[in-house]
Chain A
Amino acid sequence: MYACVYAPDCRATLSGPPGEPERLALKNVAQQFSPRYETHGDLVVIDVRGLDRLLGNARTVGEELRREAAERDLRAHVAVAGTQTAARVLAIAQPGLTLVEPGGEAEALAPIAIDVLGKIADRDQRSDCPEPRAPSPEPRASISAFKHWGLKTLGEIAALPAADLSARLGQQGLRWQSLARGDDDRPLVPDVADERFEASLDLEWPIEGLEPLSFVLTRLLEPLSIRLERRDRGVAVLHVHLRLVTKDVHARRLELPSPLRDVRALRTLALLDLESHPPASAVECVTVSIDPTPGRILQHTLFTRPHPTPEQLSTLLARLGAAMGQDRIGAAAVVDSYRPGVFAMRLFATSHSAHPAPPAPPAHASPALRRCRQPVPARVTIDAGGRPVRVTTDRRGFAGGSVQRAAGPWKTSGEWWRSAIAQGAGQAGGAGWDRDEWDVALSDGGAYRIFLDHLTHAWFIEAVID
């Protein structure tokens, strides 16, 4: 048996969705009767099975619900029926208390006017209804079709032949028919009270250094991880609060790229963060709190190689970041610019699709370059036509030699306006470039991309062609 309490005044008194006080009042009414309830804004569906032994028959339960709602200043419609759908529709359609014996749902719903479907469609499409039961895509179209066919009550919709209805309105028509018959299309999903994931430990002796702290973190994180697993939750944000002997609080906040609950990974991430941001003095109390998020659903495949798990990748990125610097690791990205050698670094994603995008064919048959991030100054001898004939440098490893073959020049310039702005403001340098690029093969066996910078009138080696 299910009871539904619908408070129409919630919306009537407020301009927007039901306010938090009304929502809370409805939830409190439900909590007085059963832990299994599901709220949808101005409506709550309660599983009242078993309450007959405690309170009495269905009528007594319904009256108690109305009394409880009235005590909280809620004018409520209450319906008790064998299915949650029937209880919900009856509560929306009829004021007061409505009782339906189990098995009589379709009969009770039959005389209700078809307009109630419009109300349900409106409620389900509102953002305050997290789990819409009626189909969202164009529910109004089906209702219009019913009206066009001359149907006036839910009983007439329930009596339609299902196959013909499906042929004309598809799955959406069948869902409306199921609702008109009072059939449930899914079980009740009880609301779960918000749970705090926090653990704290007062230390008998203050600790210094990270090694002893790792044991404390493990001890705190293990029970939290078990609780997260029971709730099918992962860690979105990990907060570590260290109360120091100086009574200051050293707070760290780690936003994880993907939900984790592996204790070792979480501990390692927390320790790596504390390594780079150590507390100023000894720690006397450790508190770990977690902002939970729904867990990941992973479907492994038999036909592709396993990737590193998000836990492994998160830990790896944290370790690499600590060893190399956060700006030295990541995924490269091409930048839409003509500036030579420009690129961007992005965070490396910790979860990837097992099925790669179809490989893009090589864009062009250009040779691969090894780019010198700081171009190497070079001495270039040119002939009468301006072609380089000899390239030498002082840099160790770049011997240079006479030019065997040369291709160029490719003249490129850009962002000259930035240089002009910089010069106008009296600043040295600028962001523009203006250069002649040459690809040269030297007698030392190497091939290089060199360029003449017109801004400084100097030659540089930009890249090795390899």
Chain B
Amino acid sequence: MAASLARASLESLLHTKKLGQTLTNGRHALGAEREQASTGHAGLDAHLHGGIPRGHVSELIGPRSSGRTALLLRLLAAATARGELVALVDALDMLDVESAAGAGIDLDRLLWVRGHVVPNPGLCRDLNQRALVQAVRALTLVLEAGNFGLVAFDVGEAPAEAIRRLPFTTWLRLHRMVEGSHTVCLLVGEGRLSRSPAGLTLHAPALRQAI
């Protein structure tokens, strides 16, 4: 009896702190409240139980050439087709505009923020780290503005150690900023970056097999 009371108390506390999704029964408890953004692909939506949750940070990860970019462009295209404004913070300035247009993105609705990348930093090895920090700042500004349907932060080709050097509070701040909004914040990287308790981790190779 005491154990069940303690459990109920703990669950109540987690719900109060908006961490109810971390519970094993959280999906069923809060599923009705969860708002999701469709990926534009019925099979993928079914695999993700409806789509990517809004108001949370999700991540799209996978090694090089695993289809991360194609999936990212598909998500952006689906959002612009719904009439939403989307933003892409392209930390290493690698977006191929032709690919984006070919994927069906309405380019007028895509705010593209291009990072400053120095191809050969020479002795100044921190130059590209600075570009990454600058991109995080741009991401923060976009999320602060609010009302974007999807905001993607693409660091897919950034070295892992450069990402590790970002303060861990960066991600916590992002979670707080997105929380309660209708925005999907998507981090695109090679390895795990960060996600909200209710966010998703989209593993590109696994998704490719699933659909």
- B11 contacts the other chain (CB 8 A): no
Chain A residues with Cβ below 8 Å from B84 are: 305, 307
- B100 contacts the other chain (CB 8 A): yes
Contact A329 B111 (CB under 8 A): yes
Interface size class of A (residues with CB under 8 A): 35 or more
- Among all A-B residue pairs, the 10 with the closest Cβ atoms: A359-B81, A343-B97, A466-B69, A369-B96, A368-B69, A356-B83, A316-B145, A368-B70, A374-B119, A370-B94
- B103 (CB) vs chain A CBs: closest residue: A362
Q: Which of A356, A359, A466 contacts B68 (CB 8 A)?
A: A466
A278 to B114, CA, bound (A): 26
Contact B146 A312 (CB under 8 A): yes
A315 to B146, CA, bound (A): 12
- A359 (CB) vs chain B CBs: closest residue: B81
Question: Given known contacts A305-B149, A464-B64, is B96 in contact with A370 (CB within 8 Å)?
Answer: yes
Assuming A362-B104, A445-B63, what are 19 further A-B pairs, CB within 8 angstroms? A305-B149, A308-B146, A320-B138, A320-B142, A328-B115, A332-B112, A334-B101, A341-B96, A352-B85, A355-B83, A356-B81, A357-B106, A359-B80, A363-B101, A368-B67, A370-B94, A445-B65, A464-B65, A466-B65
Chain A residues with Cβ below 8 Å from B147 are: 305-309, 312
Binary contact track B114-136/A, C-beta < 8 Å → 1, others 0: 11110100000000000000100
- B141 (CB) vs chain A CBs: closest residue: A319
Interface size class of B (residues with CB under 8 A): 35 or more
What are 29 sample pairs from A and B whose C-beta atoms fall under 8 A apart?
Answer: A305-B84, A305-B182, A307-B147, A308-B145, A312-B146, A313-B145, A316-B144, A316-B145, A324-B116, A325-B116, A329-B111, A329-B112, A332-B95, A348-B111, A355-B83, A356-B80, A356-B82, A359-B80, A361-B104, A362-B102, A362-B104, A368-B69, A368-B70, A372-B94, A373-B117, A397-B157, A397-B159, A463-B96, A466-B67
A92 to B112, CA, bound (A): 59
Question: Given known contacts A316-B145, A323-B141, A334-B98, is B103 in contact with A368 (CB within 8 Å)?
Answer: yes
Q: Which of A349, A353, A363 contacts B102 (CB 8 A)?
A: A363
A190 to B157, CA, bound (A): 63
Question: Given known contacts A324-B134, A367-B70, is B108 in contact with A352 (CB within 8 Å)?
Answer: yes
Contact A466 B145 (CB under 8 A): no
Binary contact track A336-370/B, C-beta < 8 Å → 1, others 0: 00000101010011001111110111111011111
For window 189-243 of A, CB contacts with B under 8 Å fall at: none
Contact B102 A366 (CB under 8 A): yes
- A456 contacts the other chain (CB 8 A): no
Question: Given known contacts A352-B109, A356-B109, A364-B102, is B97 in contact with A332 (CB within 8 Å)?
Answer: yes
